[in-house]
Amino acid sequence: MPTSARAPGPTGIVLAVSGRRIDADGADQPRFPAANEALVAQRIRDRMVFTAAETLVCSGACGADILALEAAAELGLGRRLVLPFARGQFRAGSVADRGEEWGRRFDAILQQLASEDIVELNLQQSTTEAYAAANYTILDQAEALASGAGSRVLAMVVWNGLSRGPTDLTDQFRKIAVDRKLEVIPVSTL
């Protein structure tokens, strides 16, 4: 049965999330080791409970995004998914490239969500520009959901705490959130 993101109550929190993907096998520098998946999933869930989040907005890449979407489902939170590309293209390049198990988890999430809570931007830009646009859209969607209810938006950044430089999209998300005067909650992947 599809679930729908709902506007939070007057004291509710909308959580905008971005973070690291699971490291590829043989990654030179660990950013989100696969061995840390269960630990990071618990950290994300704990933060959702601690902040009393009611709604989650994020993308659906393997790693932080899928873990956040699964935790939100367990907690009964509303969920909204933002994809920079069509589902199949996104699944191939940002999900299943780290293993088909991630692809199956992504598919299950899509089946659980109402169609209005899957925002496909279908961008034709370069990959970096498309993911950057998705970062803005995640925050825009979170702010829109919170605005009518007098709620707050918090930005959760699930990462190793180190920027890779100007092309680091997780750090870009963090900086946009700071520019918008949002509280940023870091969650370590290490």
Percent of the chain with pLDDT over 90: 87
CA distances from 113 to 3, 6, 95, 164 (A): 5, 12, 17, 33
Least confident of 5-14, 50-59, 112-121, 176-185: 5-14
Q: Is the overall model pTM greater than 0.75, yes or no? A: yes
Where do the domains of the chain lie, and which CATH numbers do they carry? 13-188 (3.40.50.450)
Task: State pLDDT tens for residues 34-79.
Answer: 999 999 999 999 999 999 999 999 999 999 999 999 999 999 999 9
SS3 for the chain, per residue? CCECCCCCCCCCEEEEEEECCCCCCCCCCCCCCHHHHHHHHHHHHHHHHHHCEEEEEECCCCCHHHHHHHHHHHHCCEEEEEECCCHHHHHHHHCHHHCHHHHHHHHHHHHHECHHHEEECCCCCCHHHHHHHHHHHHHHHHHHHHHCCCCEEEEEEEECCCCCCCCCHHHHHHHHHHHCCCEEEEEECC
- Which pLDDT band, with edges at 50, 70 and 90, does 16 fall under? very high
Average pLDDT over residues 111-140: 94
Q: Note the pLDDT of residue 4.
A: 65
Classify 181 in phi/psi space as left (phi over 0), alpha (psi -120 to 50) or beta.
left
Q: 75-108 pLDDT, tens per residue?
A: 999 999 999 999 999 999 999 999 999 999 999 9
